[in-house]
Amino acid sequence: MAVAAPIRVLEAQYRTYRRTWRGSVISTFLQPVLFLTAIGVGLGTLVDDGAGTSTLPIAYLAFLATGILPATAMQTGSSDGAWPVMAGFKWRKDYYATIATPITVRDLILGRFGFAAIRLTFVLTIYTIIMALFDAVPLWPGVLGIPPAVLTGLAFTALVTAYTCTLENEIGLANLFRFGIVPLFLFSGTFFPVSQLPDWLEPLAPLTPLYHGVELVRKLVLSDLEAPLVSSTSMWVHLAYLVVVLVIGTALAVRFLDRKLLV
């Protein structure tokens, strides 16, 4: 039976991942656990005991965990669009092997993103279970945060893949993480509400995809939160923003990889 080409790419991705997942699994789970322990439990105790209680109606740990979920998705998703993509066209050149078959560049991108979505779902589900074990957020409604976090991660996979395909070497990737991903991680409402940002920075936050991911997860999981801890923007706006970024990012990724491989 004929199977759609992107699905066949996804199957190949899965087979490779089955051999290599051990290398990434520790770092993937260790980081959120470290954040939850150090900042959530450690710093969170101070926040909750001090002036924090007057502004946060919930435990800081819950606030943090719902920010770390989409932020982890962003990091996992971005990494997926960075080094493996550069390896595909520059180091291992396995993309050249793939497109020598009936598979097209578009199939390759869609298959990769499809697999990225599955992997993100897996990683974020484990993370949600860890959140529950930390008593940060109960499994229900904690699981409601998974789909928007996956969407956030995928949007970053698409954007970063497109960006990587414009690069000649990995210096640009190091810079992306240093000057792009890390600042987003810190200033998109992950650790504190965006309303706490300096006035000149605050309007910039809604421009970033992570902000919308964080807002969407919090509004779904912590439904009691109100402005200024979360914005008053409709959840549909957040969703639409992320979908638009994913679609544009995917189109650019196909175009730029095409330009890279088919010369």
Partner 1 sequence: MAVPLVIAESLTKRFDDITAVDSVDFEIHPGESFGFLGPNGAGKTSTMRMIATVSPVTSGTLSVFGLDPAADGRQIRGRLGVVPQEDNLDLELTVAENLYIYGRYHDMARPKIKEKIEELLDFAELTARRDSQVETLSGGMKRRLTIARALINEPDLVILDEPTTGLDPQARHLLWDRLYRLKQQGATLIISTHYMDEAEQLCDRLVVMDKAKIVAEGSPRALIDEYAPREVVELRIHNGMEAAIEQLVKLAPRIEPLADRVLVYTDDADRTLKEVHDQGIVTDSALVRRSTLEDVFLRLTGRALID
Other beta carbons within 10 angstroms of residue 89's beta carbon come to 17
CB nearer partner 1, residue 11 or residue 49:
11
First CA to last CA across the chain, in angstroms? 33
Among 83, 96, 122, 179, binds partner 1 (CB under 8 A): 96
Question: Residue 1 interacts with partner 1 (CB under 8 A)?
Answer: yes
Question: Residue 51 interacts with partner 1 (CB under 8 A)?
Answer: no
Question: Residue 168 interacts with partner 1 (CB under 8 A)?
Answer: no
Distances (CA, A) of 35 to 38, 86, 104, 152: 5, 29, 41, 19
- Stretches 29-37, 55-63, 92-100, 235-243: which one binds partner 1 (CB under 8 A)? 92-100
Q: Residue 223 has what DSSP assignment?
A: T
CA dist., res. 99 & res. 228, Å (int) = 50
Question: Residue 263 interacts with partner 1 (CB under 8 A)?
Answer: yes
Nearest distance from residue 237's CB to partner 1, in Å? 39
Among 22, 100, 169, 236, binds partner 1 (CB under 8 A): 100
Question: Residue 53 interacts with partner 1 (CB under 8 A)?
Answer: no
By CB under 8 A, the residues from 63 to 82 that bind partner 1 are none
Q: Which helix (H) or strand (E) holds 201?
A: none
Question: Residue 104 interacts with partner 1 (CB under 8 A)?
Answer: yes
Question: Residue 103 interacts with partner 1 (CB under 8 A)?
Answer: yes
Question: Residue 135 interacts with partner 1 (CB under 8 A)?
Answer: no
Do 134 and 143 touch, CB atoms closer than 8 A?
no
Question: Residue 102 interacts with partner 1 (CB under 8 A)?
Answer: yes
Distances (CA, A) of 261 to 99, 107, 223: 9, 14, 47
Q: Residue 102 has what DSSP assignment?
A: T
Nearest distance from residue 69's CB to partner 1, in Å? 30
CA-based radius of gyration for the chain: 19
Question: Residue 22 interacts with partner 1 (CB under 8 A)?
Answer: no
Do 13 and 109 touch, CB atoms closer than 8 A?
no
CB nearer partner 1, residue 98 or residue 231:
98
Question: Residue 166 interacts with partner 1 (CB under 8 A)?
Answer: no
CA dist., res. 36 & res. 53, Å (int) = 19
Residues that bind partner 1 (CB under 8 A): 1-3, 5, 8-9, 11-12, 15-16, 19-20, 92-94, 96-104, 261-263
